Structure 1
Amino acid sequence: MTTRDTTRTASIPRPSTAAAPPTGIPFMRLAAVELRKQLDTRAGTWLLVAIALISGALIALSVVTSERGTLTWTSLVSSASVGQLTLLPLIGVMAATSEWSARTALTTFTLEPRRLRVTMAKVFSASGLGVLVSLVTIAMSALLNVVAILAFDADDSWSVDLAVVAGVALTVVLLVMQGVAFGLAFLSTPIAIVAYLALPSVWSILSLTIEAIREPAEWLDLNSMLATLSMGEMTADSWPKLLVALAVWIGIPMGIGLWRTARREP
């Protein structure tokens, strides 16, 4: 005669058959990782150092050479924006091409297979970094404006042209997005940088030298429109031209880049 030990069997926990629903990586975590990639490399670090040094030098040069009546906080911000508007878009280029140059795209897309989210995280982090650099530049301009007031009898008015400040910040974001777009379209850092610097400039030169295309070329001259935006001189007629130029110089390369990255093997 045998008996079964039912108490011992009942005490063994059974594994749950309901699996927890999969959760994706939060977008802000993706953006933070992409931001760290942009800051961890030597190229990214030295590019930011170069932007800071050039911006500081341009502000100091403006303090020394400008007429005292025209030396204001707004004028210092405008002077500093020249260097950052030229170099900050390169951060966007490197943010888009670093995965493919360093061959880390396989790791990134294994952790987050949705490539569009990764691309949007790159755009968000690079644009945020550009805005942060702009804010630091504005603070640096304020500091040197104090020096100009105390040492060079500059205008002690702290009024600032919000159209200029907002225009510079928006221009920085748009240029960084253009850098990301060209980086995605070419997936090669040197080629993307050359294309970003050369193609819009060549188009601007052609529009100035060939009279037959001068009027329609105004709708595709991104450099001219962004210069107007950064100076706070946008009018009702300028906004449609800016939108068309953005669609051509950011929208088209961004679309090509998204198509390429969606189909290219890491």
Structure 2
Amino acid sequence: MTTLTPAVPRIRSSQRIPFLRLCAVELRKQLDTRAGLWLLVSIAVISAGFIALNLFTAESEFVTWTNLTGAASTGQLLLLPLIGVMAATSEWSARTALTTFVLEPRRTRVNAAKIASASSLGVAMMVVTLGASALANLIGIVWLGGDGSWALDGGVVAGTALALVLLVIQGVAFGLAFLSTPIAIVAYLGLPTVWTVLTLTVESLGEPAQWLDTSVTFTTLMTGEMAADDWPKLLVSVLIWVGIPLAFGLWRTARREP
């Protein structure tokens, strides 16, 4: 007698979640939390304050679209990277890692989506800054007798936008490396500051600082006057302060239990 073995249906592997959908989900996580929302509000208020300060206190010849944009970017350069920190630590601090990594087991892909969404948020903030600065420049022309120059320095804007994106990625990198929001924020704000202070107080560190201090290389980048020998210095400083913590964070999150 022949025993019939029932056919076992083949289980189809789940379709890969589109990367753009992952980015949209990660961006929503960054904007939907109370901390993220208030941080963005704080950035908007501080940026508006810097615009107003430049508009009402600067000499008329300095009230230009480029200068107003640079003034507004100051608060973003300081605070927007904290969005990156919270984007990286949210899975572990809010205990959503299990859900996230069940839906998308490829953790590096999730982390890449965090980087992409946080970077896109930085670019979007830069675009909004350009619009707000243009409005402020118009106010300066009509009511305050400002110079009102509409000559936008492309090098300054592109350098500032690139510096902002790199700082946001650095925030994500520190978040992934420490996986704790307060520790990552303290490390992100404290370690580069300590290194900068050391380079200013220890004379022998002055030359290495040209290669290892992002406050030096990013400042040069944001002036829009990068020389040929400035690009290697920028690359080295980014590898030290962004690449190393990012690589360690990707390695750590790939092996940590949710």
TM-score (norm 1): 0.92
Residue 227 of structure 1 and its aligned partner are, at CA, apart by 1.4
Tell me the distance in 2 between the aligned counterparts of 1:180 and 1:222: 16
Match of 2:96 in 1: 104
Segment drifting more, 94-103 vs 154-163: 154-163
Q: Are residues 1:145 and 2:156 paired? A: no
Tell me the distance in 1 between the aligned counterparts of 2:89 and 2:148: 45
Give the letter aligned to residue 126 of structure 1.
A
Match of 1:7 in 2: none
Match of 2:4 in 1: none
Residue 229 of structure 1 and its aligned partner are, at CA, apart by 1.1
Residue 189 of structure 1 and its aligned partner are, at CA, apart by 0.4
Residue 231 of structure 1 and its aligned partner are, at CA, apart by 2.1
Cα-to-partner distance string for 1:84-134 (whole Å, 9 max, x where unaligned): 000000000000001100100000000000000000000000000111111
Segment drifting more, 94-103 vs 155-164: 155-164
Tell me the distance in 2 between the aligned counterparts of 1:210 and 1:82: 27
Tell me the distance in 1 between the aligned counterparts of 2:180 and 2:223: 32
Aligned residues, how many?
252
Give the letter aligned to residue 22 of structure 2.
L
Match of 1:192 in 2: 184
Give the letter aligned to residue 142 of structure 2.
L
Give the letter aligned to residue 212 of structure 1.
S
Structure 2 gap segments, 5+ residues each: 1-6
Matches within 5 A, 1:154-165: 154-165=146-157
Q: Are residues 1:117 and 2:109 paired? A: yes
Tell me the distance in 1 between the aligned counterparts of 2:10 and 2:242: 46
Match of 2:225 in 1: 233
Runs in 1 of length 4+ with deviation above 2 angstroms?
A: 15-22
Contact in 2 for aligned 1:77/1:138 (Cα 8 Å): yes
Tell me the distance in 1 between the aligned counterparts of 2:113 and 2:126: 20
Tell which structure's C-alpha radius of gyration is larger: 1
Query: SS of the counterpart of 1:219?
Result: helix
Q: Are residues 1:214 and 2:206 paired? A: yes
Tell me the distance in 2 between the aligned counterparts of 1:17 and 1:262: 32
Q: Are residues 1:60 and 2:52 paired? A: yes
Q: Are residues 1:39 and 2:56 paired? A: no
Match of 1:129 in 2: 121
Tell me the distance in 2 between the aligned counterparts of 1:51 and 1:234: 28
Structure 1 gap segments, 5+ residues each: 1-14
Match of 2:67 in 1: 75
Tell me the distance in 2 between the aligned counterparts of 1:155 and 1:16: 78
Cα-to-partner distance string for 1:150-189 (whole Å, 9 max, x where unaligned): 0111123211000011011111100000000000000000
Tell me the distance in 2 between the aligned counterparts of 1:156 and 1:186: 46
Match of 2:253 in 1: 261
Contact in 2 for aligned 1:78/1:231 (Cα 8 Å): no
Percent identity (aligned)? 63
